[in-house]
Structure 1
Amino acid sequence: MAVSYMDFTSPSVQYFFDLSKNRSFTKDGRNYINALGIDQLNTLGNVSLLDIYMSRGNVVEPHIHQNASELVYCIAGGEIVSILNPFTKTVLNFKIAPGQVANIPQGWFHWELATEDNTHLLAIFDAPVPEFIAVSDFLRLAPRNMLAHTYCLDEALIAQALAPIKSTTTIGPPVDCVPKPQQRHVDAGQAQHPHAVYPGYAAPSSPESRTSDYPGIGNGFNRR
């Protein structure tokens, strides 16, 4: 248990906060995040949370919290929580519905895909202020020549592909994203499946699925 040094006799002590008063990110009216930490509620101690609202097909982008573990609790809607296990080098995908949770160890890459409209999540952290490193920041800031040299890629193609990323994405795809026509065939059964949100994004065969269950994640969205 964390040791508290709060002076509970102080007139500044806080026990209540309205989450709607601290919007930390807004994509649009259906995709936004409210935050709660010790800056909003000084009696929290070693805990904080994000109050996340998403519509179908939106993704909390790949990221890490280098100082905190995260427990994702589904209040409404549906979500696929994906975790990159750095020890087994596999991606684990967990479908969660209302009343279910997925746990993400500290410092592991992860992302969340809303499979239904009006999805509502609580992300709870064991740190007073969870730090956040987004993959979009790496992609937009990393030198193109370094990426090309390190991974033996075409520098011009890298620059062209990553040029639309102008800021931290947080919840993607960006509002100015226009899907390009898909070349691959999606069968009728998959197209109707609630988890076939992206073209080529197959429904997981079990609550815990590996990378092979999710081919082509995100390749249906490109900005022009």
Structure 2
Amino acid sequence: MMGRTFTRQTILHIAAMAGVVLAGVAYSFSGATAHAAYDHTSPLLVNTRSRLEVCAQVAPALKGQNMAITNKLNERMSKLKATHPKWNDVHGKAAAAPAFSNSCTIKMPNQLIDEADPTVIGKGYTNKPSPFRAIVLVVDDATADIALGKLNVKHAAYEMMWVSEHEAVEVTNALVVRESYLDTQEFVDQYLSVAVSLEPVKPYELPEGVTTTTIKPAGHDANN
């Protein structure tokens, strides 16, 4: 089994999602909302999202395999829906496993990923989050060695949404993963699950003293 590192953002997201699982939240919206708002009671995390949406991108070296990799991710998501004991509680029994879109824009990492910095591969800090709950970036071994080191997969923030003048929460997860790791059950159980608001199949302990917020960088534009 591979070694793992879990940053504050990853762990806090899991803690928050445990509450969602217990609440058995269904997708229920009273109508269109003019402004996006963070909703910790929903597995989608943003009130303007009406269904679970996910997106995938491949590294340039894997461009010729894009369709095959996307199909593999769709199969992995379908397996997660079929096997995770809490899928129906969180996303509803009638909810189909979402198909991966290829319409997201992901920055290719050229250094070791800082999991808590959404500007490394994602859109950064925003008040207008994308419809995607999760993003998966599939990379070749050469890119993985740069971005992941010796790991096979790593969580990275893609979008952080401002909830107050000085606080932001992660509303879109990203997973950066080696192509060869997609076939493993561990990827499905421990990583893809968390990215779509499910508890990992094998829980891990939360460290003491963590918080759910990040400090606003100087000069941020809250209208992005």
With the shorter chain as reference, the TM-score category is under 0.3
Which structure shows the higher strand fraction?
A: 1
The structure number with the bigger radius of gyration is 1
- Work out which structure has the larger RCO, using CA pairs closer than 8 Å and 6 or more positions apart in sequence: 2
Q: TM-score, normalised by structure 1?
A: 0.23
Q: TM-score, normalised by structure 2?
A: 0.23
